[in-house]
Structure 1
Amino acid sequence: MPDVPRLWIRHETRASERRAPLVPEHAARLVSQGVQITVEESPQRVFPLADYVRAGCRTAPTGSWVDAPADHHILGLKELPARPDALRHRHIFFGHAYKGQAGAGELLSRFAAGGGALLDLEYLTDDAGRRLAAFGYWAGYVGAALAVLHRRGELCAPLSTLERAELDDRLRRGAGGGGDALVIGALGRSGRGACDALETAGISPVRWDVAETRVLDREALRGHDILVNTVLVNRPVPPFLTPEDLDAPRRRIRVVVDVTCDVTSECNVLPVYDATTTWERPVLRLREGAHPVDLIAIDNLPSLLPVEASHAFSAELHPHLLDLNADDSPWKGALRVFEDMVGSAHLPTVEETAHAE
C-alpha cells in the first residue's frame, strides 16, 4: 500500500495568475481520504484561503514551499520563482522545459542540482498518450472570444478576470460581427472551446483538424478574418502560418490567435512572432498598412475565467493526486520523461547560469 501523498499548493508568482490547480471542493475530498494538504497564502488566488481551511487544509505563508518537508509534492501551475538555485522537492506544474524553450536548460539544472524532479502536467498522460488533466477547453474559449472582441473594437487593455456569463453576454451583444473564422485543431479540447466561443458570438467557424493540416491549402487558410491555432505538437512539423502568408496579396487574415504559445520552441507552428502578448498588452501588430494583422498569444488565457477553468482542471486532476506514490500510476511516466530529459541534455551548471545573468 503506497504512502498517502502530502501536497503543498504554492502561491503563483505571476500577478495575472488567479487559477488554482486544486479547488477547495476537491481538496476536501482528498483530505477525507487521508491526504495532507498545505495551502500557501495568496492575495490573487480566486479561491479564498478560508475555503481551503474549511476543507481541512493547513495553511502556510506565501513562498514557504522552499522549506516544506522533503516528502511533500509542491503543486502549482505556472513558472517557479528564480530562486532557490537548487530544487529538492518533486514539483507538479507546467514546466515548458522539454522542447528547447527559453530557460528550459536552467530550470532542469536547478532540479539536477537539488535532487528534485519535475512532474510536468503536460506529460501526465494515459497509456494512449492522452493528457489526463488540461486547461485546453477554456484556453481555446477565451482565445477565440478575445479575437472576436478585438475585431469588433471592444477589447480593452489591461485585461481583467471575468465570469463566463459576463463574457458570453459580451459575445452575444454583437452576435455575427467580427468576420468569419478558421479553427485549426477543431476536434481537440482547445479547438472545441474555440468553436463554442465563436458560436456564442454568432460565428460558425470553419473547422480543420488532422485531415486538413496534412497538406495545407494555404490560400484557404489565408481566406478568413480570424485564425485560431489550437494545435500543440511535440516534434517539428511544417508551419501552419509563415511570414510569406502574411505578405500574400490576397490574404484576408486580420487576427491570429495562438492558443498554444509555443513561441520559443522549434515546434512552433506559427513562426510569425517571437514573443507572447500579455494582459497589459494583449495584442501585437504583426503587419501594418491597409490590411493590418494583429496577434493574440497570451500564455495563461484560462486565468481570465479563473473559477470555471480551475474547477474543470481540478475535477480531472484530483483523482490522480491520490496515486502520486503508487508504482503503477501515470505520474511514473511523467517522472520517466523528466529523467530522460535530464539524462540526455547538456545542462548549464549553477555557476554558468549565474554568470549568464
Structure 2
Amino acid sequence: MSSPHLWLRHETRSTERRAPLVPHDAARLVADGVRVTVEESPQRVFGIEAYRTGGCEVAPAGSWVDAPDDAYVLGIKELPDAPTELRHTHIFFGHAYKGQEGAGALLRRFTAGGGTLLDLEYLTVDGRRVIAFGYWAGYVGASLGVLAARGRLEPLHPMEKAELDALVRSAGADGMSALVIGAQGRSGIGALDALVAAGTVLDGWDREDTRELDHQAILEHELLVNCVLSTTPQEAFVRPEDLDADRALRVVADVTCDVTSEHNLVPVNTSITSWEEPARRVADTPALDVIAVDNLPSLLPREASVAFSADLVPLVPSLAGRRGPWAAAAAAYRDAQTVRTA
C-alpha cells in the first residue's frame, strides 16, 4: 500500500498559530517515504523554511482546494466557507457530530463533494481518544481562570510557557479555592498542574465524584475549571439558578467549550469568548465570569504543537488503509452523515 500524501493547510483563523505537524516530525515522515506538502502561512509558529529544509514541498496558502484528489488535507480549526463542495479527505477538529452550530452545513459540504471528514476528536481506540491538545488546553484554561479571578486577565496573545507562568505567579493565587472537574483526563491533568504551580487550594473531581452532583460544593470554590467532554445528557455543573445563589464562585474556565451543544455543562454561557475579550460576565450580584475560548492551546502554540505532532506521527502509516483509530474516525463520520440524512 502506498504512503499517504499529507497536505498541511494554512489556518484561516487569525489567532491560530499551532501546527498539527511540526517541522522535525514532517522531516521524519518524508524520510520514511511520506509525501508532505506544507502551505505557506504568515502566522504559523514554525517558519516555512524549516519544513522545506526537512524535504517537504511548499505550496501557497489556501491551495489545498486544488490539491490532488488523494491528498489528505490536515489542519486544526474550521475550514473557510468556500468551496461549498469538499472532495478531499480532511483531517481536523470539525465539531460537527453533536449538533453544534454550523455542523449541518459542514456535513452537507462533504456530502456534496464526495469528501470525508476524519475528525481528530474521534481518533479513538476502545472509545478513548489517542490524540489531543487537551493537556495544554487545561493548562492554559486554568491559568487564565486564575488571572480572571484576580482581575489580571487581559486580551490574549501567543506566548511561551515561561511568560504565562510568570503572569500567573504575579497574580497572587495563594489560597484561592479551585475545583477541576474531569481531573483524570488530559485537560484535567493540565489544569491540575497549572493550579498546583499557582499555589491554589485545589480539589479535583472525576466521574465518580459527579454521579450525584454536590452543587453547593461547586459554588464554594472561587474558580471552577470544566474539563468534561460530555457525549450524553447529564446534570449541568453551573445552572441558571446558581447565578442568584450565595456563592464563592467567581470564575468558570470552560476548557471543554461545548457551548452550542445540547450537552453544554455550563449552560449559563452559550457562546464562545474571544482573544480580545476572553471572559464574559454572566452575573453581576455576585459577579460571575465565564472563559470559553475555543482554541486555548494556541496561546502556547509551540509547546502544544510539539506534543500533538509527536502523537500524530505514529498514526500516519495506518492512514491510507483507514486502520486503527482512523477506522473509528471514519465510522464516526458515516454515523453522523446517516443521522443527518435520516
TM-score scaled by length of structure 1: 0.94
- Structure 1 residues 221-278: Cα deviation after superposition (integer angstroms, max 9, x where no partner): 1101001100001122121210111211x21110011001101111111111111101
- Secondary structure of the residue aligned to 1:272 is coil
- Structure 1 residues 180-227: Cα deviation after superposition (integer angstroms, max 9, x where no partner): 101101111101111111111111311111111000011111101001
- Secondary structure of the residue aligned to 2:77 is coil
Is the Cα contact below 8 Å between 2:147 and 2:168 reproduced in 1?
yes
Is the Cα contact below 8 Å between 1:152 and 1:177 reproduced in 2?
no
Q: For 1:239 and 1:90, locate their aligned partners in 2 and report how far apart those are by CA, in whole Å.
A: 36
Q: 1:152 to 1:124 in 2, by over 3 A?
A: same
Which one is further off, 273-282 or 166-175?
Answer: 166-175
Equivalent of 2:219 in 219, 222, 229? 222
Q: For 2:5 and 2:13, locate their aligned partners in 1 and report how far apart those are by CA, in whole Å.
A: 24
- Structure 1 residues 119-154: Cα deviation after superposition (integer angstroms, max 9, x where no partner): 00000011x211111000000000010011122222
Number of the residue aligned with 2:138: 140
Give the counterpart letter for 2:21 in structure 1: L
Aligned length: 342
Q: For 1:101 and 1:260, locate their aligned partners in 2 and report how far apart those are by CA, in whole Å.
A: 13
Is the Cα contact below 8 Å between 2:4 and 2:35 reproduced in 1?
yes
Is the Cα contact below 8 Å between 1:91 and 1:118 reproduced in 2?
yes
- Alignment RMSD (CA, Å): 1.2
Which one is further off, 192-201 or 336-345?
Answer: 336-345
Residues 78-227 of structure 1 correspond to what in structure 2 (within 5 A)? Answer: 78-126=77-125, 128-157=126-155, 159-177=156-174, 179-227=176-224
- How far did residue 345 of structure 1 move? 1.0
Residues 169-318 of structure 1 correspond to what in structure 2 (within 5 A)? Answer: 169-177=166-174, 179-248=176-245, 250-289=246-285, 291-318=286-313
Q: For 1:148 and 1:75, locate their aligned partners in 2 and report how far apart those are by CA, in whole Å.
A: 34
Equivalent of 1:339 in 316, 328, 334? 334
Is the Cα contact below 8 Å between 1:30 and 1:322 reproduced in 2?
no
- How far did residue 178 of structure 1 move? 7.1
Give the counterpart letter for 1:340 in structure 2: D
- Structure 1 residues 98-135: Cα deviation after superposition (integer angstroms, max 9, x where no partner): 00001101000000000000000000011x21111100
Give the counterpart letter for 1:148 in structure 2: V
Which one is further off, 172-181 or 55-64?
Answer: 172-181
Equivalent of 1:321 in 281, 306, 316? 316
Is the Cα contact below 8 Å between 1:148 and 1:178 reproduced in 2?
no
Number of the residue aligned with 1:34: 33
Is the Cα contact below 8 Å between 2:182 and 2:205 reproduced in 1?
yes
Is the Cα contact below 8 Å between 1:38 and 1:59 reproduced in 2?
yes
Give the counterpart letter for 1:261 in structure 2: C
Matched, 1:65 2:64: yes
Give the counterpart letter for 2:283 in structure 1: R
- How far did residue 175 of structure 1 move? 4.3
Which one is further off, 263-272 or 73-82?
Answer: 263-272
- Secondary structure of the residue aligned to 2:341 is coil
Give the counterpart letter for 2:340 in structure 1: A
Is the Cα contact below 8 Å between 1:140 and 1:192 reproduced in 2?
yes
Q: For 2:146 and 2:322, locate their aligned partners in 1 and report how far apart those are by CA, in whole Å.
A: 47
- Percent identity over the alignment is 58
Q: For 1:156 and 1:57, locate their aligned partners in 2 and report how far apart those are by CA, in whole Å.
A: 38
Matched, 1:8 2:7: yes
Q: 1:137 to 1:164 in 2, by over 3 A?
A: same
Is the Cα contact below 8 Å between 1:276 and 1:297 reproduced in 2?
yes
Give the counterpart letter for 1:310 in structure 2: S
Is the Cα contact below 8 Å between 2:175 and 2:201 reproduced in 1?
no
Is the Cα contact below 8 Å between 1:242 and 1:272 reproduced in 2?
yes
Is the Cα contact below 8 Å between 1:151 and 1:178 reproduced in 2?
no
TM-score scaled by length of structure 2: 0.98
